Amino acid sequence: MEKKSNQQYRKNSRAPFDRRKHGEMSYAEKREADKVDKLSSWVPKTKLGKLVKAKKITNIDEVIEKYKILESEIVDLLIKLKEDILNIGQAKGKFGGGKRRIWRQTQKKTKEGNVATFSTMVVVGDENGHVGLGYGRAKETLPAREKSLKKAKLNIIKIERGCGSFDCACSESHTVPLKVEGKCGSTRVILTPAPQGTGLAIGDELKKILKLAGITDVYGKTFGHKRTTLNLAKACMIALKKTTQFEK
Ligand SMILES: [Zn+2]
């Protein structure tokens, strides 16, 4: 057998393995297929779940208005969601530490030693007026994330959008319809309507929420201990919810 030169051998071994050439799905496709599979094999337990599965209810607004959602698959079936994770925790240790992380790590002191708990905050939305925020905790990182994702879907709310800006006065729904305020703990968030092209003039964590809610322009103002992302995010959701409390 002819011996391959070193260079040739390297060249061959580094060629990327194309799954599609071998009649397999790419990883992204596989993940998507898994999701669809899970949804189609889902057996609903609640009355609402059965109605949605049988396609007797197809409108998410009707569900939010009349029912309490107890199964996250209901929301998955009705709208296409995007998700994002807020930085609620921080890295510990030397060299400054304090770097923002998505896992919030807390400890409980016991006789046997310190027991750590992880928690995360996930925001979901369809970028079209529906948004949900979920907080979950577990002994490991990944279950905490799954829990919060599920809770975010259960907590989904409808928000009202419009153009409440005096400088713009168009008829598109790109900002909040009126000035709204939310409060959680010492943290206060005020959202003011802004003309088109302003962008989201607000902190990065709240940007994630507003983007998934489908708001593109807003002037934000925050007061209090706003480093507590947990309370900041909750206050923002309370403010967003208030957009539906006023009749046109
Ligand atoms: Zn406008």
Amino acid in the structure at residue 206 = L
CATH number of the domain residue 221 falls in: 3.30.230.10
Tell me, what's the pLDDT at 7? 62
Tell me, what's the pLDDT at 3? 62
Tell me, yes or no, whether 88 and 143 share the same domain.
yes
Give the H/E segment covering residue 148: helix 141-154
pLDDT at 77 over 70: yes
164 alpha carbon – ligand 1 mean position (Å): 7
173 alpha carbon – ligand 1 mean position (Å): 7
pLDDT at 246 over 80: no
The reply to whether the predicted model has a pTM over 0.75 is yes
Tell me, yes or no, whether 74 and 94 share the same domain.
no
How many distinct structural domains can be found in the chain? 3
216 alpha carbon – ligand 1 mean position (Å): 10
Tell me, what's the pLDDT at 91? 82
Q: Domain residues for 108?
A: 82-158
> Domain ends where: 158, 191, 218?
158
Residues with Cβ within 8 Å of residue 139, at least 6 apart in sequence? 115, 116, 117, 118
> Which has the closest alpha carbon to 200: 240, 146, 157?
240
195 alpha carbon – ligand 1 mean position (Å): 5
134 alpha carbon – ligand 1 mean position (Å): 30
193 alpha carbon – ligand 1 mean position (Å): 9
Provide the pLDDT confidence category of residue 193 given band limits of 50, 70 and 90: very high
Alpha-carbon span 175 to 164, nearest angstrom:
7
Tokens in use for 64? 């939010």
CB-proximal residues (5 Å) to ion ligand 1 = 163, 168, 170
Interval 127-166: pLDDT, tens: 999 999 999 999 998 999 999 999 999 999 999 998 888 8
Tokens in use for 126? 């369809």
Provide the pLDDT confidence category of residue 89 given band limits of 50, 70 and 90: confident
61 alpha carbon – ligand 1 mean position (Å): 24
Contact at 8 Å (CB) between 82 and 125? yes
Residue 196 lies in a domain: yes
Tell me, what's the pLDDT at 164? 82
Residue 113 lies in a domain: yes
Alpha-carbon span 137 to 201, nearest angstrom:
31
CATH number of the domain residue 145 falls in: 3.30.160.20
132 alpha carbon – ligand 1 mean position (Å): 25
Tell me, yes or no, whether 149 and 95 share the same domain.
yes
Tokens in use for 93? 């240790």
Tell me, yes or no, whether 86 and 146 share the same domain.
yes
Alpha-carbon span 187 to 182, nearest angstrom:
8
Higher pLDDT, 130 or 39: 130
* DSSP class of 139: S
Tell me, what's the pLDDT at 17? 65
